[in-house]
Amino acid sequence: MTPYSLDAFIADCRKAAAGCPDPADCVTAITPLMLRLLSSVRDFLEPAHFRSDPAHYARNAIYIAPEADLSLYALVWLPGQWTPVHDHGSWGVVGIVEGLLEERAYMALDGEIRANQGIRLKRGGNVLLPPGAVTTFVPNPDHIHHTGVPDDRPRAVSLHLYGRTMSSFHVYDVEAGTRRLINVAHNES
Ligand SMILES: [Fe+2]
């Protein structure tokens, strides 16, 4: 496979997203681009993108579009680090660089979620994502999940591309049937 630069990937993703009003078409178009990017990942990832944090999984920005319509992060997961149950309010394409990332899905029993309470979620399936794997999601009611690495597995590193700047997302309390919007920080490159 010929090398694929980060700039070319971003340009191709922007072109693909612009031509796809349906997020499902968008992630279908971008999936092979992420697969190709993973083959060149060691060419553009810098030491800063591998920063971890002993307190929680680390979000290291790789590219954030000035138009706020595209963002790419390297997430670094130390053993035992997990997200809360959350959504993204956007489509997303995830590619695995290193380790084995686990994603546990939740299903919204009543379809599209319009309020912050009365949310009925049911646990869905799990996926284990090894290096080179690509997974995608589309917003509301899909894709509510929590993601991480169990205590007994080594560090994982993954690339996450979203259709907006991912500076906030909903966190769900499954038992209470509620959600709230939280701001999430990232490390600049
Ligand atoms: Fe997520």
Give the chain's largest Cα–Cα span: 50
Contact 16, 30 (CB under 8 A): yes
Domain of residue 81 covers 48-183
139: CA distance to ligand 1 center in Å? 11
pLDDT at 1 over 70: no
**What is the 18 CA–ligand 1 centroid distance (Å)?**
23
Nearest Cα to 179, choosing from 103, 122, 113, 123? 113
Counting the structural domains of the chain, the total is 1
64 C-alpha vs ligand 1 centroid, how far in Å? 17
Residue 65 lies in a domain: yes
**Does residue 144 lie in a domain region?**
yes
Q: Could you tell me what percentage of the chain is helix, strand and coil, using 3-state DSSP and rounding each to the nearest 5?
A: 20, 35, 45
Looking at the domain assignment, is residue 142 inside a domain? yes
Question: Do the domain assignments include residue 52?
Answer: yes
Only one residue has tokens 């149950």, namely 85
pLDDT digits (tens, 9 = 90+) for 31-55: 999 999 999 998 899 999 999 999 9
169-178 per-residue burial string, b: 16 or more CB within 10 A, e: under 16: bbbbebeeee
- Domain holding 146: CATH number? 2.60.120.10
Give pLDDT, residue 20. 83
Is 42 part of any domain? no
CA of 42 to the centre of ligand 1 (A): 23
Helix (H) or strand (E) holding 63: strand 58-64
Q: How far away, in angstroms, is 128 Cα from ligand 1 center?
A: 14
pLDDT score of 143? 86
Q: Is 3 within a domain?
A: no
127-166 pLDDT, tens per residue? 999 999 999 999 987 789 999 999 999 999 999 999 999 8
Q: What is the overall mean pLDDT for the chain?
A: 94
Predicted pLDDT at 140: 83
Q: Is residue 179 scored above 90 in pLDDT?
A: yes
CA gap 9, 37 in Å, rounded: 7
If you measure from the C-alpha of residue 162 to the centroid of ligand 1, how many angstroms do you get, rounded to a whole number? 10
- Span from the CA of 65 to the centroid of ligand 1 (angstroms): 19
Specify if 17 maps to a domain. Answer: no
Tokens of 1: 């496979």
Look at residue 188 in the predicted model and tell me its pLDDT.
87
Tell me the average pLDDT across 68-82: 97
Q: Residue 46 Cα, ligand 1 centroid: separation in angstroms? A: 23
**What's the whole-model pTM score?**
0.95
Query: Which pair of structure tokens corresponds to residue 119?
Result: 């949310």
Residue 25 in any domain: the answer is no
What is the CA(61)–ligand 1 centre distance, in A? Answer: 15
Ligand 1 center from residue 168 Cα (angstroms)? 11
The pLDDT score that the predictor gives to residue 58 is 97
Between CA 189 and CA 187 the distance in angstroms is 6
Confidence at 112, pLDDT banded by 50, 70, 90: very high
